[in-house]
Amino acid sequence: MSSRTPLFSGSIVALITPMDNHGEVDYDELKKLVEFHIKAGTNAIVSVGTTGESATLSIDENVKTILKTVEFAAGRIPVIAGTGANATSEAITMTKLLRDSGVAGCLSVVPYYNKPTQEGMYQHFKAIAECTDLPQILYNVPGRTGSDMKPETVARLAKIPNIVAIKEATGDVSRVKLIKQLAGEDFIFLSGDDATGLESMKLGGQGVISVTNNLAAADMAKMCKFALEGNFEEAEKINQRLMPLHRDLFIEGNPIPVKWAAYKIGLIKDPFLRLPLTVLSEQAQPKVLEALKIAGLI
C-alpha cells in the first residue's frame, strides 16, 4: 500500500464554498465548515472541487479559498486542492500556485466540454504531474465532462510517480477491480459516486470523495471506517439511512441541492450560488427535506 494512503482514504468531503448573498466567498462560514468536519471525523477535505463551484470562481478566488482552508485546518486535517481545468496550461498554473501551500495533494478533473481523446487525457495529466511534486488524484466524471477516461489510460498514468489515486465517478463498480488490476494494488481508488461508494469499498476501494459528507459528516466517517475494517454489516446500516441523500442531492445540478440542504440544517447562513446556478427549486425542496429527515439531520 502506498505510504500516502492515509491521506487519501476514508471519508473525504467535496466541500461546498459558502458565499454571502452578494456572491462573495464567506471565509467566516468556511472556517466553521472546516471545524465541523474536524469534529465529525472527516478524513480529508477537497477544497474548490466541482462541489465547491470551481467553475465560477476566478483563479485568484480558487487559490485564496484553498489557502484559507489550509489555514483554518491548521494541520489537523489534510486539504486536497481542486486544480482541474479544461485548459492544460490553466491547470498547470493553478497547481504551481499551490506548490508551497501546505495542501496534501491535488484533485484534477478530466478536461470538460472539449472532449479530448484518451491520448489527450494522458498528455494533459502527464504535463500537470511533471510540473509539481504534489501527489495527484485523477478525477473521472463523464456525466459532467462529456468524456470517460478509460481504465487503460488510468493505468498508463499510474506509472507516473506522483499520480497516486483516482476519484472515479462513473458509478460503475466493476471499475474498482479493473483499475486495481491494471494500475496496481497500491494505486488508490476513491469513489466519487455516493450511491455506490460503499459498494466500491467492498470491492477494494479505499474511500469516498462525497457530497453527502457535507451534511452527514459523522455518519459518513463511521460508515467508511466500518468499511475499511471490513465491518460491512454496520456500514450498510448507515448507508441505507443515507441513501435518499445520496440520490436526492443530485435532483438538480450539484451543488444546488447540497447548498440548500446545508442552509436548511444551519451549517451555512445563505444558500447562494453563482450564476448560472440558482437556488434549489420549490418543487425539489420537499424531496431534499424528506431525505434530510430520513438521515436524521432535521
Q: Any bridge partners for residue 12, and if so which? A: 44, 209
The reply to whether 51 sits in an annotated binding site is yes
Q: How far is CA 273 from CA 62, 216, 296, in A?
A: 15, 21, 26
Q: Any bridge partners for residue 190, and if so which? A: 167, 207
In contact, 134 and 99? CB cutoff 8 Å: yes
**Residues labelled as active-site residues:** 139, 167
Q: How far is CA 128 from CA 7, 114, 146, 253, in A?
A: 20, 17, 21, 28
Q: Any bridge partners for residue 82, and if so which? A: 107
Dihedral sign, Cα of residue 173, residue 177, residue 180, residue 183: negative
The reply to whether 209 sits in an annotated binding site is yes
Residue 192 buriedness (CB in 10 A; 0-12 / 13-18 / 19+) = buried
Within 2-140, residue ranges assigned H as helices are 27-40, 59-73, 88-97, 118-130
- Number of neighbours of residue 217 by Cβ within 10 angstroms: 22
- Letter string b/e over residues 130-161, b meaning 16 or more CB atoms within 10 A of that residue's CB: eebebbbbbbbbeebbebbbbbebbbbbbeee
In contact, 46 and 52? CB cutoff 8 Å: yes
Q: Which three cell numbers stand for residue 238?
A: 448507515
The binding site for pyruvate comprises 51, 209
